[in-house]
Chains A and B, each alone.
Chain A
């Protein structure tokens, strides 16, 4: 299957700092990329939908000024958690939808811990 690379896999930061997470589709062009948050033993919670060259669409309750999404190309999207606080600690996962068949492929996830 297609490969989506997500980095970093784990990050620990101090409260108040910003953290950037990268999501790349390595061998296909993605029409759309999605960002999710997942708490232990819970399902994926969609945070935002990102289309190349346009502004991201955020789900209700997700602060767009806190979670900045940039989708610069058909293969790269970034999520920046600005001024992170301990309550932002979570597992963040990206996915990319393949242009030709609508298949969705996931990155390996990023565990963010804010101290």
Chain B
């Protein structure tokens, strides 16, 4: 079993739809959770950052963490064509020498 699992897609939705992206993980020591957006041939951009369980909202983006189920989600409301990108979940246990583990990424296309 991989440490972090993520459906690679591709996921295609119409403009304005609500998008749900998910990751599951196996390491119960993870406590920092992040979502990144990566456009083709660019470095990933940090979208959301959550410590421990709970929800966090930032504009059209909502991140949820359920540590009991080892499951994290990213919701995108009112999706736009400019949201078309690859979304990577990432997590770490949080000590300075820990690696950050990435999911393989989900490719999202928002169709106008």
Interface residues of A (CB under 8 A from B): 1, 4, 6, 31-32, 34, 41-44, 46, 49, 51, 91, 93, 95, 97, 99, 101-109, 111
Check if B46 is an interface residue, CB within 8 A of chain A. yes
How many pairs, one residue from A and one from B, have CB atoms within 8 Å of each other in the complex?
A: 56
Instruction: Give CA–CA (A97, B102) in the complex, Å.
Output: 14
Q: How far in angstroms is the closest Cβ of chain B from A54?
A: 10
Contact in complex: B100, A111 (CB < 8 Å): no
- Closest B residue, CB atoms, query A108: B43
Interface residues of B (CB under 8 A from A): 32, 34, 36, 41-46, 49, 88, 90, 92, 94, 96-97, 99-100, 102-105, 107
Q: How far in angstroms is the closest Cβ of chain B from A56?
A: 12
B103 proximity list for chain A (CB < 8 A): 43
- Closest B residue, CB atoms, query A107: B43
A34 proximity list for chain B (CB < 8 A): 99-100
A4 proximity list for chain B (CB < 8 A): 43
Contact in complex: B97, A1 (CB < 8 Å): no
Contact in complex: A111, B41 (CB < 8 Å): yes
A32 proximity list for chain B (CB < 8 A): 96-97
> Beyond A44-B88, A103-B34, A105-B46, is A49–B41 a contact (Cβ under 8 Å)?
no
B90 proximity list for chain A (CB < 8 A): 104
- Closest A residue, CB atoms, query B92: A102
Contact in complex: B88, A6 (CB < 8 Å): no
B92 proximity list for chain A (CB < 8 A): 102
Contact in complex: A97, B100 (CB < 8 Å): yes
Contact in complex: A106, B96 (CB < 8 Å): no
Contact in complex: A43, B96 (CB < 8 Å): no
Contact in complex: B99, A103 (CB < 8 Å): no
A107 proximity list for chain B (CB < 8 A): 43
Contact in complex: B104, A103 (CB < 8 Å): no
Instruction: Give CA–CA (A99, B94) in the complex, Å.
Output: 11
Contact in complex: B41, A104 (CB < 8 Å): no
Contact in complex: A97, B43 (CB < 8 Å): no
A31 proximity list for chain B (CB < 8 A): 96
- Closest B residue, CB atoms, query A105: B46
